[in-house]
Structure 1
């Protein structure tokens, strides 16, 4: 492992996945890999175990991966950073209001549409497997959000507290904080590599996410 991303999803994680790969820290594990990745049949059973609270060998879980960003790994940031004590840690963040709105309009919207049977069967992206819906429910909605996502102010407090806990737990020399929009420089510095000449990737904004799952784009 070369990078452990510990920030929540909807903080530029798909762009980070591509950027880290471009910088030589790939392949990079992301939730998308459990939906449509080539290794999903190998990886998903581990995350079912993790969501069920069963012990796992984290080196086995991430065998073949060189980095991780996004959920579900971000939900287990303490365990993953402890299992790889010498690996740099990336805390990817964005302003709370923009983040909350993005989660509402993407992963929550998809969850509610799926529950109502309203996801298009001919969407551009295959739906998560039933087992993955369970992982998402246990680790994200019931885990990180404790079943309280609709309580915006509680989530705000939790979001800020998570960032502060990570800052207090991970030594400063091991931690890189990357705010959405920061681009290549903090990542290249963390990895000790040159800044690429091509533009920073910008992937998976709200409307791209929605339309891939067959939901209408927002104005």
Structure 2
């Protein structure tokens, strides 16, 4: 059967909320980095290969899932839109690259800095390598580099995905754009808002 929805937006674009929403709308499980047993510092052999551009069995990775969002899925969006040609592509995003960076700086970057400082990273792909791949540089901890990479990522998805498959979605958009693309009714309940910055209670380093 394969995926019905591919999330092409990076982490910190409402992907946890989007995961919950898609599960409610589709009646099945949505893949997200949080479901990977070793996340965020060991995503396993298959994702290590995928993020590094090596062949993988996508149907094996997504077995039992009807949708997929968040990193590392969105790192491989270009391969996935070909492998699942009938899937709707949701490009989740923030109002601006700066807003996205501020969210990343308050959540993912402190965790990644601690990983590097404490040598928590291993040989396989993890959060620090995802940031490196996204930024296109080993020097990923740089606001200008990351905001530029964010804009480039959105532009590449927009250029490559046919308009009839693409849904551009911001967290404040809620149910409507997603339901319209999937051809389902808008639920008579609030959109699920999950994983806000306030849930990240550590002190940045």
Band of TM-score, shorter chain: 0.7 to 0.9
1:49 CA drift (Å): 2.8
- Alignment pair present for 1:190 and 2:191: no
Preserved CA contact (<8 Å) 2:175 2:186: yes
Once the two structures are superposed, residues 62-107 of structure 1 have per-residue CA deviations (whole angstroms, 9 ceiling, x without a partner) of 1111101100011111011111111111000102112101111111
Preserved CA contact (<8 Å) 1:141 1:149: yes
TM-score (norm 1): 0.81
Q: Which secondary structure state, in structure 2, belongs to the residue aligned with residue 23 of structure 1?
A: helix
**Range with greater deviation from structure 2 (104-113 or 140-149):** 140-149
Q: Which secondary structure state, in structure 2, belongs to the residue aligned with residue 66 of structure 1?
A: strand
**Aligned-partner Cα distance in 2 for 1:111–1:164:** 26
Preserved CA contact (<8 Å) 1:49 1:56: yes
TM-score (norm 2): 0.86
Preserved CA contact (<8 Å) 1:28 1:69: yes
User: Mind listing any 5+ residue stretches in structure 1 that lack a counterpart?
Assistant: 119-127
| Change beyond 3 A, Cα 1:114–1:86 | same
Preserved CA contact (<8 Å) 1:148 1:155: no
Q: Which secondary structure state, in structure 1, belongs to the residue aligned with residue 111 of structure 2?
A: helix
Aligned to 1:159: 150
Aligned to 2:30: 28
Structure 1 stretches (4+) deviating beyond 6 angstroms? none
Preserved CA contact (<8 Å) 2:90 2:166: yes
**Aligned-partner Cα distance in 1 for 2:128–2:112:** 9
Aligned to 2:131: 141
1:51 CA drift (Å): 3.5
1:57 CA drift (Å): 1.8
Preserved CA contact (<8 Å) 2:51 2:75: no
- Alignment pair present for 1:180 and 2:181: no
